[in-house]
Amino acid sequence: MSSAPDRTAAAPRIAIVGATGAVGTTMLEIIEERALRHSELHLVASSRSAGRKISFAGREYEVQAIEEFDFGQADIAFFSAGTTVSEKWVPVATAAGAVVIDNTIAFRMDPDTPLVVPQVNAHELDRRPKSGVIANPNCSTIPLARLLRGIEDRWGIRNAVVSTYQAASGLGYSGVEELQESTRASLQGPDADFEPHHFKPALAFNVIPKIDRFLDSGFTLEEEKMLRETRKILGLPHLDVTTTCVRVPVANCHSESVYVECQSPVDRAELVDVLAALPEVRVHDRETISAFPTPAEVGSSDLVHVGRIRATQNNPRAFWLWLVADNLRIGAALNAVQIAEELIERDTL
């Protein structure tokens, strides 16, 4: 265990790096909603956002430039400003004594950094991490891992095949704005003046079977993330998970179509009960088999929503399900805040 200074006598001091972005803004909302215990709050962003005023819990806070912020003022530092920022500044924060909860790919596969979904592997937070960093998983990995944990515990998993339908907000405010702009341009006709930046081809009235860069294998980095992260979170290094990640013209909430083959036969009624018993999961087709969640219906939610649960007709060990989760909350900000709650509860700062 690290010889970090004892800060248990007081509520932790918190810094949010990327406080003006979509995840940072959502994180502030969740910290206020859940009354996360803290003694100080520091909002940090790039120099472009420095000086901006943000209201939180009846007070006004001024955003500080990351280049000027003293991380010695923070016990917990949330990072959600992009991989490049994390790679440069997380070591500065940990050297100053902060525990970092990082929402980028920068440290997820580092063996000294736990990759945590509190409903799945909160035991990883029983001690301060050797690296000083706790990684927040990918926004599509988090809800999937939460469901697979219960399935693995009951039946064992042989393999999973997943197709994701990921919203524009996966790229933050700029992604949603581009979807809106491309939709307006598409409705105006072929002569509209619009050049896509984030989504190529344009996302309006379209689906794009590519998220992040292509790898030599033909899979994308997003698809590779889901495989490697799911294995690490569940502690199943040889788990077979294959994924196709697709961007869809939805503002917020990622959806996933999931096929799972288990080690033993699965009864649908028992599967429904197992999923419904998982923490913060809502099964829509428990009473009415035709009920299912959609991004528009789910909206801003702190639950993983599940429907279309079907045992396959030709393989008694296999089934399909559909899940929808708010990627800004469950897939990023909420998971990070719940990690902080566990750290405070376990007194491992």
The residues annotated as belonging to the active site are 139, 254
**Cα–Cα distance for residue pair 2/253, rounded to 1 Å:** 38
**Cα–Cα distance for residue pair 105/70, rounded to 1 Å:** 24
Q: Is 220 helix (H, G, I), strand (E, B) or coil?
A: strand
Count of CB atoms situated within 10 Å of the CB of 148: 23
**Cα–Cα distance for residue pair 297/236, rounded to 1 Å:** 33
Query: Terminus-to-terminus CA distance in the chain, angstroms?
Result: 11
The helix-helix angle for 221-234 and 141-155 (nearest 10°) equals 40
**Do 181 and 187 contact (CB within 8 A), yes or no?**
no
| φ, ψ (nearest 5 deg) of residue 117 | -120, 110
Output the six-digit token pair for 232.
């690490």
User: What is the rounded radius of gyration, in angstroms, for the C-alpha atoms of the chain?
Assistant: 21
Number of helices (H), then strands (E), belonging to the chain: the values are: 9, 14
Characterize 299-316 residue by residue with b for buried, 16 or more Cβ atoms within 10 angstroms of its Cβ, and e for exposed. Answer: eebebbbbbbbebeeeee
Task: Name the region of 35 (left: φ>0; alpha: ψ -120 to 50; beta: rest).
Answer: left
Q: What is the dihedral of CA 284, 335, 238, 324, to 10 degrees?
A: 30
- What are the DSSP E strand ranges found in the chain? 13-17, 40-45, 53-56, 59-62, 64-65, 76-79, 99-102, 133-135, 157-166, 240-247, 254-262, 281-283, 304-311, 318-325
